[in-house]
Amino acid sequence: IIHKNPLTIDPNGEFLPHLYCIQSENYYSYLNYKLKAKILNRIHGKEKIAITGAIQYDKVYEITNKKPSYLDFCNKYNLDPQKKLFLFLPTGPQHHTETLKRDYVKICEEITKSGFNLLIKGHPSDYAKRKMSLYDVEKKSSWEILTPWAKACKPEDFYDALYHSDGAISFY
């Protein structure tokens, strides 16, 4: 089973998996083209392609409740509503070398010193406490260890944070 994350640059390979979960009708058409052109192949003919969607492309605000006001959002995270919001999207803790850890802290310090509200949106593996070998001893998220003074976004508030952000930065 493969779930094709539309944000990855992973190749499709030469063969369909038993179940291939994809994001859209457009991608389904693309796969059919590759099958007809013999660029992508079936092994036994029973492979299934399922259009499951991808949160990166779903129209979240058309299917969710009204967006919170910036004031309400700032109050929830104890941020200054007079300042603009800057979102930091660090990579997963499994990639945190000593250099990256220093950069992580420096980025957060610079955003704050520049007069912005800082909100960290952690990597999913950080929220799930997976791949935490660099932080296992303390059983804390990377931001709790590297920037304990910084606020972190709850995963369910990510789209509200994006909506209200004036800027964002990631390592890549």
Residue 63 has pLDDT above 50, yes or no: no
**Closest residue by Cα to residue 90 from 100, 81, 80:** 100
pLDDT tens figures, 40-62? 889 888 999 998 876 655 555 44
Interatomic CA distance for residues 73 and 70, integer angstroms? 5
The residue behind tokens 């960290």 is 120
Percent of the chain surpassing pLDDT 90: 41
Q: What are phi and psi of 87, to 5 degrees?
A: -105, 130
User: What pLDDT score was predicted for residue 125?
Assistant: 79
Higher pLDDT among residues 172 and 116, named by residue: 116
**Token pair in block for residue 164:** 């209200």
Q: Is the pLDDT of residue 92 over 90?
A: no
What's the rounded mean pLDDT across residues 58-85?
Answer: 80
Residues 74-79, mean pLDDT to the nearest whole number: 96
Kindly indicate the confidence band of residue 95, based on its pLDDT and cuts at 50, 70 and 90: confident
Whole-number Å distance between alpha carbons of 164 and 33: 39
**pLDDT beyond 80 at 7:** no
Quick one: pLDDT at residue 74? 96
Q: Nearest 5°: CA angle at 60, between 52 and 76?
A: 130
